[in-house]
Structure 1
Amino acid sequence: MTLYLHIPFCDSKCGYCAFYSQTNQEHLIKPYLEALTLDLSYQLKHYDIKSIESVFIGGGTPNILDSKSYEGLFNLITPLLKDDAEVNIEANVNLISKQWCDSLVSFGATRLSVGVQSFYEDKLKLLERQHSTKDIAKSLELANSFKNKSIDLIYDTALDSKARLKHELECALKLDINHISCYSLSVDKDSSFALKDTSSKVSNHTQSNFIKQFLESKGAFQYEVSNFALPYKCQHNLSYWKGKDYLGVGVASVSKVNCKDKGAKRLYASKDLKGYITNPIKRLEENLSLDDLRTEELFLGLRSEVGVETFSFNKKLLNDLQDKVYIKEGRFYAKDLFVADEIALWLLRRI
């Protein structure tokens, strides 16, 4: 089992962000943490969780909370962690402090994911980020107690060119990190960008192949469409792509669990902050059919190094895809992860 904890608070909302978060709600942090702790305790007991393989604390902005806020949560989690468990936490550049990082590591966090997004001031402004490029290297130095560090970058903005992206990737590779996530800018309907004219923000052609080729030339390995190992692979993300069960705790969180005699279910927590605080245990349930699980396996497997088992697919279908997939040890894999979704859709129309 893996665990996701959602921290919904932010000091500002970035225009591209579609994750559930709230600004100017600091007065709700204390009651939210109480609700989160109650929710976590209940879910662990309800599903009789004996072992946790990995944890991801995301947001929102997890480091908007002081380190002391996490002590109670770790008291519940730590006894269940496997010896080699990965415990991730996200952080924003402008809020990183040495004390916060050192404390989280002392609690049991093993990996930090930092939202860098860009090494250009004009691009940070376009993305509505709060930090400056001069803060980036210093923030990673303050986080040196974390042995595993990753950064996020965003590309395919209207400001990007190959030359600028090359500079950003070179800057990234100079940092003390062993993983990098590169996300193509998209305008989600739940983001504030969706309400604006995005022609000045989003590029009309992708630089994904340039990103991949450059990073691979420097020794990185693309193990998922947006993730590159340097050489570390995020074990929590891999668990999703392998279709493992996960518990989501917190407002707007989602779980996928296999219940004895009840089959697989997807569980949805309240998407309203005050509603969640009032009743943190409440979940909406969705029963997952075998077709649902198969579709999920197909999309997630093809987008990553996990691949998909061949036995449930007609051999002729796979032969028709031989220019786009390769088969190895009973599984098939996308040759180009950037077209994985197209391959999955093509297969779904024919099965």
Structure 2
Amino acid sequence: MILYLHIPFCDSKCGYCAFYSQTNQKHLFSPYIKALEIDLKYQLEYYSVKSIESVFIGGGTPNILDSKAYKQIFTLINPLLVSGAEVSIEANVNLISKSWCDDLVSLGANRLSVGVQSFYEDKLELLERKHKVKDIAKSLELASSFKNKSIDLIYDTALDSLARLKHELDCALQLDINHISCYSLSIDKDSSFGLKNANHKASLESQSSFIKQLLESYGAFQYEVSNFALPYKCKHNLAYWEGKDYLGVGASSVSKIDIKPNGASRLYASKDLSEYIKHPTKRVKEPLSEADLQTERLFLGLRSEVGVSTKDYSFKLLESLKDKIYIKGDHFFAKDLFLADEIALWLLRRS
């Protein structure tokens, strides 16, 4: 089992972000954490969780909360962690402190994911981030107690060019990190940018290929469409792409559980913060058919190094894709991960 914990609080809302979070809700920090603890304890007991391979604490902005807020959460999960378990937590640059990082490592966290997003002031302003470029290196130094560190970058904005992207990647690789995620700017209709009908013209293909080629020339390895190992691969990400069960705890969290003989289900926690605090264990259940699971495995597997089992597809069908996939053992893989969704859709239409 892998575990996701959602912290739905931010000091400000970035224009492109469509993840569930709230600002100016400091008065709800304490009641939310209590609800989260109730929910976590209940879900672990209800599903008889005996071991946890990885944990990801995301948001929102997890480091908006004092480190003490996480004490009881780690008390609940630490006894269940397998040897070598990965415990990640997200953080915003402007809120990172040495004491917070040291405390989280002492509690049991061992991987930090930092939302850097850009090394240009004008781009940070466009993305409505609160930190400055000069803060980035300092924040990573303050997080020295974390031996595994990753950063996120955003590309394909109106300000990007290949020359600027090279500068950003050069800056990133000077940091003490062993993983980097590069995400194309996606404007969700529910985000601030989307609601304002922000003008965004994608030039995804050339920028994506450029990032891949440059990072690989520096020794990075692309193991998923947006993720590059330097040389560390995020265990939590890999578990999702392998189709493993995941338990989501917190407002707006999602779980996928496949327990025989009940079958697979996706479970949704309330997206309303007040409602979640009142009824933290309540879930809306969506049954998943074998076809649903197969479709999910297809999309997730092709987007990553995990690949997809050949047993569900005829040799003739796969042979017709020989210019876009390769077969190794009993799995097939996308030759170009950026074409993964296109390949998956083609297979779905013909299966």
SS across alignment from 2:350: coil
Following superposition, the deviation at residue 189 of structure 1 comes to 1.4
Q: What's 2:89 paired with?
A: 89
Q: Does 1:107 align with 2:143?
A: no
- Aligned pair count reads 350
Query: Quick one: which amino acid aligns to residue 153 of structure 2?
Result: L
Deviation at 1:260, TM superposition (A): 3.0
Please give the residue correspondences for 1:250-265 in structure 2 after superposition, counting only pairs within 5 Å.
250-265=250-265
For the residues of structure 1 that align with 2:260 and 2:292, how far apart are their CA atoms?
Answer: 18
Aligned-pair CA distance for 1:205: 4.6
State TM-score, norm by structure 1: 0.99
Per-residue CA deviations over 1:28-64 (Å, capped at 9, x if unaligned) read 0100000000000000000000100000000000000
Map of 2:151 onto structure 1? 151
Aligned to 1:296: 296
**Aligned equivalents of 2:303, 2:122: Cα separation in 1:** 31
| Secondary structure in structure 2 of the residue aligned to 1:55 | strand
Q: Residue in 2 aligned with 1:175? A: 175
1:241 aligns with 2:245: no
Q: Please name the residue that 2:127 is paired with.
A: 127
Deviations 1:210-230 (Å, cap 9, x if unpaired)?
A: 000000000000000000000
Q: Distance in 1 between matches of 2:295 and 2:92?
A: 34
Partner of residue 28, structure 2: 28
Distance in 2 separating the partners of 1:296 and 1:204: 27
Partner Cα separation in structure 2 for residue 50 and residue 108 of structure 1: 18
Distance change in 2, residues 1:214/1:204 (3 Å): closer
Stretches of 4+ moved more than 6 A in 1?
Answer: none
Distance in 2 (CA, whole Å) between partners of 1:191 and 1:143 is 30
- Provide the C-alpha distance between the structure 2 equivalents of 1:12 and 1:196, rounded to a whole number of angstroms: 17
Tell me the residue number matched to 1:54: 54
Q: Which runs of no fewer than 5 residues in structure 2 stay unpaired?
A: none
Question: How far apart, in 2, do the equivalents of 1:197 and 1:345 lie?
Answer: 28
Stretches of structure 1 lacking an aligned partner (at least 5 in a row):
none
Alignment of 1:275-286 (within 5 A): 275-286=275-286
CA drift of 1:196 comes to 1.8
Contact 1:160–1:203 (Cα < 8 Å) also in 2: no
Q: For each residue in 1:152-207, what CA deviation from the matched residue of structure 2 results, as whole angstroms up to 9, or x when unmatched?
A: 000000000000000000000000000000000011112111022422x5544541
Q: Quote the residue 1:344 is aligned against.
A: 344
Look up the equivalent residue of 2:9 and give its one-letter code: F
Q: Is the 8 A contact 2:184 2:204 kept in 1?
A: no
CA distance in 1, matches of 2:193, 2:32: 28
Amino acid at match of 1:128: E
Q: Deviations over 1:269-309 (max 9, x none)?
A: 00100000000000000110000000000000000000001
1:189-228 paired onto structure 2 within 5 Å: 189-199=189-199, 202-206=201-205, 207-228=207-228
C-alpha distance after superposition, 1:45-97 (max 9, x if no partner) = 00000100000000000000010000010000000001110000000000000
Tell me the C-alpha RMSD between the 2 structures.
Answer: 0.8
